Amino acid sequence: MNAQKPYWDEEMEAALPVLQKLENAGFEAVFVGGCVRDVIAGRPITDVDIATSATPDAVMVLFDRTVPTGLQHGTVTVIVNERTYEVTTYRSEAEYEDHRRPAGVAFIAELEGDLLRRDFTINAMALRADGTLVDLYGGLSDLHAGIIRCVGDADERFSEDALRMVRAVRFASTFGYAIAPSAWRALLRNRELLQHVAMERIGAELDKMIGGAGPHRAAALLAASGLLARAKEPLPAGFAQPGCGSRQRPALRSGRGAGGAGGVPPLSSALARLQGKDDRWAAVFLALRLSPEDAEETLQRLRFPGRRIASARSAVKLHDAAAPLAASSGAAATPAAAAAWVDAVLAAGVETASAWLRITREFAASGAQIGGLPLSEAALDALAAQLAGMPCTAIRELAVNGNILCSHLGLKPGPRTGALLNGLLRSVALRETPNEREALLALAEFMEEDRMNDGPYTS
Ligand code: ATP
Ligand code: MG
């Protein structure tokens, strides 16, 4: 920060040549949107967006390296000094179709009109190359007061693009701001329009909320707004309307309306301390007591990638098997509990087991209940120690493989080989047998003999 440019940072300094080049060619160019908001608030800025009076064609002529990323919206990506900048021509969006996208955009010459089309006052400010702030709609005072307020008439803005209602919750929850009463009332009036918005766009906003600084505030605001129950595709009730699920307690509910984004305090701090988004998603599903099927369906409907859906589902599924083992400090110490934990880990995989431990330990440390059972920190520590001490958690880590086993026992490769390998893995994970070739082959022989005699190792 300096006296001439109170709102500035090094990312903007690095992007200055882009503004200057446009200005030298006779156009206007400014930093705009999220980067201006974040630099004023003293937050690190993610990306520097630029708005200009130059048309996309003119931008592409002016810079050596450009990518026509969104020409229909007037956006060209400009690459300067190995950094990329989205340069968007000033535009207005007069008419909207289906409450989700403008019927067409018109390029305009004035910054004022461009700022007017933006969603919230805090997102509708611009910074010129000399550091002057352009704040036509009271964004600075709303930013200082921590208020999410629509530019112009809130009913109009939400009805033009219904996703803005979800964005309001996203900005309020990540920044810890309040939604202006006028915007909140308009949101409640317009919430049915969310049915026009693609599930994928809602999913992307929810993912940013959960990854942000206030996932618990997002949950409280979403519950109070009733927005998710109005989505185009039905989301499981336990997720869309917390408290209504079959096996649910309203753990994430605060019911305190627009500004009161409280949540249950220990739960909220535990959620915010989890680092990964996937851990947070699983934690939310557990706190809401969703079944693995409902967790899966939620993320499927929100168009998450399969890998992320599987990760959340398996953590929620593991909870059913593992939570009873951690419900009291004594339980994990018994041989039966140790065996049950090994079985749960082998079924879920070590990554899921580690994620589940990260989540439940964070919750237990904050004194929050998750999934209906109070978990003991000591028991979770014991499960974590047992996991860390498991010599193997996957068949590929065994000192023998299917071929070795088949040739040693004279078996044909088939389901029996798989069953034997699983039996060996379980025994190694339980530390009953060392992960050594001779010991494993001896155990496999014993298991085969046992099977011939219909013994307990038969599977
Ligand atoms: P972040 O990138 O941190 O999520 P952002 O404010 O930069 O926040 P973007 O989605 O990148 O959000 O959008 C950039 C800018 O474009 C916003 O600051 C806002 O001015 C405008 N904008 C984005 N989406 C909309 C929308 N649906 N309606 C109106 N203006 C929007
Ligand atoms: Mg952005």
Write the pLDDT tens digit of every residue in 215-235.
989 999 999 999 999 999 999
123 lines ligand 1 (CB under 6 A): yes
46 lines ligand 1 (CB under 6 A): yes
pLDDT in tens, 19-57: 999 999 999 999 999 999 999 999 999 899 999 999 999
**Which of 73, 75, 118, 151 for a ligand 1 pocket mutation test, highest count of atoms within 8 Å of Cβ?**
118
Place of tokens 């859906």: 309
Residue 260 in this model has a pLDDT that exceeds 80: no
Q: How confident is the model at residue 4 (pLDDT cuts 50, 70, 90)?
A: confident
Q: What is the pLDDT of residue 95?
A: 73
| CA–CA gap between residue 142 and residue 37 (Å, rounded) | 10
Q: How confident is the model at residue 369 (pLDDT cuts 50, 70, 90)?
A: confident
Residue 372 in this model has a pLDDT that exceeds 70: no
The rounded Å distance from CA 34 to ligand 1 centre is: 6
The rounded Å distance from CA 340 to ligand 2 centre is: 47
Q: What is the pLDDT of residue 256?
A: 35
Q: Which one-letter amino acid corresponds to residue 11?
A: E
Q: How confident is the model at residue 254 (pLDDT cuts 50, 70, 90)?
A: very low
Average per-residue pLDDT for the chain:
90
Mean pLDDT of 128-154: 97
Q: How confident is the model at residue 262 (pLDDT cuts 50, 70, 90)?
A: very low
Tell which atom from ligand 1 comes closest to the C-alpha of 38: 3
118 lines ligand 1 (CB under 6 A): yes
Q: Whose CA is nearest to atom 28 of ligand 1?
A: 119
Which ligand gives the minimal distance to the CA of 32? 1
Q: What is the pLDDT of residue 101?
A: 78
Q: How confident is the model at residue 435 (pLDDT cuts 50, 70, 90)?
A: very high
**Which of 43, 89, 90, 123 for a ligand 1 pocket mutation test, highest count of atoms within 8 Å of Cβ?**
123
The rounded Å distance from CA 377 to ligand 2 centre is: 40
Q: How far is CA 335 from CA 102, 296, 360, 410, 428, in A?
A: 64, 33, 22, 34, 15
Q: Which residue has the higher pLDDT, 332 or 124?
A: 124
Residue 264 in this model has a pLDDT that exceeds 50: no
pLDDT > 90: percent of the chain = 76
- Which stretch of 131-135, 232-236, 250-254 has the lowest confidence by average pLDDT? 250-254
**Which of 119, 165, 202, 209 for a ligand 1 pocket mutation test, highest count of atoms within 8 Å of Cβ?**
119
Strands 83-89 and 49-52: parallel
Q: How confident is the model at residue 404 (pLDDT cuts 50, 70, 90)?
A: very high
pLDDT in tens, 56-77: 999 999 999 999 999 888 999 9
Q: Which residue has the higher pLDDT, 169 or 367?
A: 169
33 lines ligand 1 (CB under 6 A): yes
Comparing CA positions, the residue from 84, 88, 124 lying closest to residue 105 is 88
- In this prediction the pTM is 0.90
Mean pLDDT of 192-202: 97
DSSP 8-state symbol, 371: T
The rounded Å distance from CA 423 to ligand 1 centre is: 54
pLDDT in tens, 277-319: 999 999 999 988 999 999 999 999 999 999 999 999 999 999 9
Residue 244 in this model has a pLDDT that exceeds 60: no
Q: What is the pLDDT of residue 46?
A: 87
Q: Whose CA is nearest to atom 9 of ligand 1?
A: 34
Mean pLDDT of 247-251: 46
The rounded Å distance from CA 304 to ligand 2 centre is: 20
Q: Provide the terminal-to-terminal Cα distance of the chain, rounded to the nearest Å.
A: 70
Would residue 390 be called left, alpha or beta, if left means φ above 0 and alpha means ψ between -120 and 50 degrees? beta
CA-angle at 250, arms to 246 and 256, nearest 5°: 145
Comparing CA positions, the residue from 260, 353, 273 lying closest to residue 314 is 353
Residue 163 in this model has a pLDDT that exceeds 70: yes
Q: Whose CA is nearest to atom 3 of ligand 1?
A: 34
Q: Which residue has the higher pLDDT, 364 or 441?
A: 441
Q: What is the pLDDT of residue 243?
A: 63
Q: Whose CA is nearest to atom 5 of ligand 1?
A: 34
Q: Is 196 exposed, middle or buried, given 0-12, 13-18 or 19+ CB atoms closer than 10 A?
A: middle
